[in-house]
Amino acid sequence: MAETTDTAKLTIKGKTYDLPVYSPTTGPDVLDIRKLYAQADVFTYDPGFTSTAACDSTITFIDGDKGELLHRGYPIDQLASQSHYLEVCYLLLYGELPSAAELEKFESLVTNHTMIHEQMHNFFRGFRRDAHPMATMVGVVGAMSAFYHDSTDINDEHQREVASIRLIAKMPTIAAMAYKYSIGQPFVYPRNDLDYAANFLHMCFAVPAETYHVNPILARAMDRIFTLHADHEQNASTSTVRLASSSGANPFACIAAGIACLWGPAHGGANQACLEMLKEIGTPDRIPEFIARAKDKNDPYRLMGFGHRVYKNFDPRATVMKQSADEVLDLLGVENNPVLQVAKELERQALADPYFAEKKLFPNVDFYSGIILEAMGFPTSMFTPVFALARTVGWISQWKEQLADPQLKIGRPRQLYLGSTARDYVDIENR
């Protein structure tokens, strides 16, 4: 628990109340209003919770004005360019970078838990073939609690650890199976001789009829997508996981709730929306028309994949993602893909336009990740499942941190009630 560093005074109807002020290791100070209702009989009003700190955390820090994202203090660009996803998973889960021996043990543990219970295959066959893969993932992940009873006791530290490893290990298998099911192909089992990202690509694109070799450039790009989406502080889906967890729900239910929240186009669906925008533009010659609309104050149209509601300067994840996008497009080419041709030209024109530079509307991580996934051959319906796969470790890390917090209480937001006051029931014949 943070220590009080100062006191703020709040005057309500002539009476003054002292509010403790806490100073974080970095970021803005926080006013403690927990006793305000009991003392002054008032609530605070903050739709969207954009000015409310609902928890203590040591996992991720974001400074949107500086374009800074830190995991346990390490800048995301350093982690994405010098580390790899499972090492970042270890960092998020345990607080420090692993030694070589610790990382080897952790990677082996994850690798040996990638298979799912065979009977879970029947769950997939209960869905329509045209079901969205996110709908399938919500159902299957939530159902894991029916198969893994030995890791649902949230009060048992060992069971929490087992659940964490299982979710990180099995999520690529579940996402790949959701994809295979949607296109009518047989499931491909995980392989222990492949690394995390390569194994996911193999499960998505291999078929029993022939050998599939994972290109290392694509595997590296996939690993970077996972790393850059691993955690993002107290966003909507993470807050959903924490809120579900506060009631004592099992870990699989909590992560399923996070997946459901991530499904929204304003959250995890942003890169899908970006690709749909590129398809709407259609051809490079139409780009000036759409740029003009985005600059017109009287036109509600906006370019998806540019700027970010958190980062007011630039998205620190985008620089590394752009490098991967360039590598993937150099490998696969864009000549025969009109969507990627539009993407490259839109990027060029937007970066050269003073309007976008002045407004700090630079291409963000969603713009580049969408380009990469499109080039790899993923349909837009798989963009959000890939995001959910990557974000699982962040959700699990936040979940574990919350359960270890002695201040944990069930989430119970208040409201500004604007409905009718008390009134008497009227019999139906008198209404």
Q: Which residues are catalytic?
A: 308, 366
- DSSP per position, 299-312: -----TTBS-SS-S
CB 34 within 8 A of CB 62: no
- Beta-bridge partner residues of 69: 62
**136 near 128, Cβ under 8 Å?**
no
**Per the structure block, which two tokens stand in for 217?**
């450039």
Give the orientation angle of helix 316-332 with respect to helix 365-376, to 10 degrees: 20
Six token digits for residue 309:
């509601």
Per the DSSP assignment, residues forming a β-bridge with 62 are 69
* Measured distance CA(171)–CA(156) in Å, rounded: 22
What is the distance between the alpha carbons of residues 329 and 321, in angstroms, rounded to a whole number? 12
For 211-280, give the DSSP string. Answer: -----HHHHHHHHHHHHHTS--SS-HHHHHHHHHHHTT--HHHHHHHHHHHHTSTTTTTHHHHHHHHHHH
